[in-house]
Structure 1
Amino acid sequence: MREFNVFTWPGFDLAPIRSHVGVNQPPRFHYGHLPPALFRRLIETFVELRRRTPPDITPRDT
């Protein structure tokens, strides 16, 4: 794996939680939850892959 996508998050495909849309409140989004052990494993894998070879970065906002 050598490619990383770069994009604005949250993007057009997420809508703010309705209960948090109001005057003087920033929009709030719910992304879900990753178990801590899975999140650590993902981060460790990305770090190791990046250390092996520089990634190709592809912008996706255009």
Structure 2
Amino acid sequence: MPSPRLLGIHCAISRILKFSGAGEYIEQVLRDLGQVTVEADGSINLGDIMKLRFDGWVNQLTVF
């Protein structure tokens, strides 16, 4: 059974995000990050990554 305390914290954070407008900001970041695709050969569109970087979404890229 879920912890009532954790559910209360989750509810409070959700309200803060909703009323502050931060929720929409976070959704936009996730949508933008979701648009970056990796091709079958492992390559990516550098333009997509640079756009995210210039818009402030990506601060550091990890290369594996």
Q: Report the structure, 1 or 2, having the larger strand content.
A: 1
Q: Report the structure, 1 or 2, having the larger helix content.
A: 2
TM-score normalised by the chain length of structure 2: 0.36
Q: Which structure has more RCO (C-alpha within 8 Å, separation ≥ 6)?
A: 1
TM-score normalised by the chain length of structure 1: 0.37
